[in-house]
Amino acid sequence: MKININDITAAPKQLSYGEEVGELNERLGRGVRDFQVATMRVDVEYYRAGLDLFFQGAVHGDVVGNCARCLEEYPFRVDGRFTRVLTPRVAAATGGGQLSADVRELSTYAGEDVDLTPLVYDEAILALPTRALCAEGCRGLCTRCGANLNEGACGCAQPAAATPHLRAK
């Protein structure tokens, strides 16, 4: 979602919209975390103070996770809040900092409009859990027969390793 910088005034404005998730899912697909975002809504308030542009709001995503233990897909919702201040890129560049290209991209603006999409993607990724688990207590799959143990015990005998034994050396 792009906002023309001439529309960003000292008087705060509100915007609610549905963000495209295609590129976000491509990014997520390249990572190790197994999530796909179905839909994302963004509520944002924006205004300017001098040359600085302020954005604050929330991202709400409907996400499908792929459980790392039982491999089942499970839907959940993420909500993240964000506040960003963007400074003009030229001023930031002369600031002398050794900012990486990514950081500069996310903290400065240049040109006619501000693209909210990278900021919103960033927040959505930060809001995701570190591991995809359908539930904290997910029992996973039986290592012998592959049955989903959340659906009940399988017929396999309890593996010996599950019972701690003290063994003399």
**Contact positions toward Zn ion, by CB under 5 A?**
67, 69-70, 134, 138, 142, 144-145, 147, 154, 156
Which tokens sit at 14?
A: 């509100």
Given a contact cutoff of 8 angstroms between Cβ atoms, the answer to whether 119 and 106 are in contact is: yes
Closest to Zn ion by CB, 81 or 131: 131
Secondary element (H or E) of residue 82: strand 73-88
Nearest distance from C-beta of residue 47 to Zn ion, angstroms: 43
Question: Could you give phi then psi for residue 106, rounded to 5 degrees?
Answer: -95, -5
Nearest distance from C-beta of residue 140 to Zn ion, angstroms: 6
Closest to Zn ion by CB, 10 or 157: 157
Closest to Zn ion by CB, 28 or 138: 138
Nearest distance from C-beta of residue 36 to Zn ion, angstroms: 16
Nearest distance from C-beta of residue 156 to Zn ion, angstroms: 3
How many residues appear in the chain?
Answer: 169
Question: Could you give phi then psi for residue 93, rounded to 5 degrees?
Answer: -70, -35
Given a contact cutoff of 8 angstroms between Cβ atoms, the answer to whether 44 and 50 are in contact is: no
Closest to Zn ion by CB, 107 or 148: 148
